[in-house]
């Protein structure tokens, strides 16, 4: 089994849309069900974290800019780590991610193990 980092990206402007508490609750349930389904297969390594939308970017010569994004559409919203036997399987597991239903994306990246 190899580990994979799932990076959840979403359009920061689109997600800023006001949602009702019921919609938020539904959204939360979708996430929990999706990640619960991965955990039920014993393939969840770390549930990870969700990230705040603000932040700063430090560039050479200590140039600091607000906001972490190159493109607003590509803001990283959070990450989780899963395990799977192949990139294909990890990709398959990611297809149910609720971020896809709000126009976001999941980037699946194999983690290079320390011992190869």
Partner 1 sequence: MQQDQLLPHLFRSEYQKIIAVLCHYFGFEHIEAAEDIASDTFLTAAETWGIKGLPDNPKAWLYTVARNKATDYVRRGTRFNQKIVEGFDAEENYEVEIDLSDQNISDSQLQMMFAICHPVLSAEAQIGLALRILCGFGIDEIAEAFLTNKETINKRLFRAKEKLRERKVKIVFPEAADIVSRLGIVLKTLYLLFNEGYYSSCQSTTLRKDLCLEAMRLNYLLIENEQTNLPEVNALLSLMCFHASRFDARMDEAGEMIRYDDQDRTLWNDELIAKGRHYLNLASKGNEAGKFHIEAAIAYWHTVKTDTPEKWENILMLYNRLLIAAYSPAAALNRTYALAKVKGKEKAIIEAEKLKLDSNHLYHVLLGYLYTSVDNQKAASHLQTALKQAKTPADKSRIMKDLKALL
Closest CB to partner 1 among residues 36, 55: 36
Contacts of residue 100, Cβ cutoff 8 Å, sequence gap at least 6: 106
Burial of 106 (0-12, 13-18, 19+ CB in 10 A): buried
Q: Is 88 in the site for partner 1 (CB under 8 A)?
A: no
Total residues at interface with partner 1 (CB under 8 A)? 12
Structure token digits, residue 7: 């990076």
CB of 97 to partner 1, least distance (A): 15
Closest CB to partner 1 among residues 11, 94: 94
Q: Is 32 in the site for partner 1 (CB under 8 A)?
A: yes
Give the residue from 69, 80, 71 showing the smallest Cα distance to 106. Answer: 80
- Which residue among 23, 26, 41, 86 contacts partner 1 (CB under 8 A)? 41
Q: Is 42 in the site for partner 1 (CB under 8 A)?
A: yes
How many Cβ atoms are within 10 Å of 4's Cβ, its own excluded? 24
Q: Is 39 in the site for partner 1 (CB under 8 A)?
A: yes
The DSSP secondary-structure symbol of 112 reads P
Binding site for partner 1 (CB under 8 A): 29, 32-33, 35-37, 39-42, 44, 47
């Amino acid at each position: 089994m190899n580990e994979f980092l799932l990076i959840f990206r979403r359009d920061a402007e689109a997600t800023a849309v006001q949602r009702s508490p019921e919609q938020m609750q539904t959204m939360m349930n979708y996430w929990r069900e999706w990640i619960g389904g991965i955990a039920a297969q014993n393939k969840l390594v770390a549930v990870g974290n969700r990230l705040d939308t603000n932040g700063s970017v430090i560039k050479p010569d200590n140039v600091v800019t607000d906001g972490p994004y190159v493109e607003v559409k590509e803001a990283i919203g959070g990450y989780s780590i899963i395990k799977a036997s192949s990139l294909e399987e990890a990709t398959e597991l990611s297809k149910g991610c609720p971020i896809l239903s709000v126009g976001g994306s999941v980037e699946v990246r194999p983690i290079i193990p320390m011992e190869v």
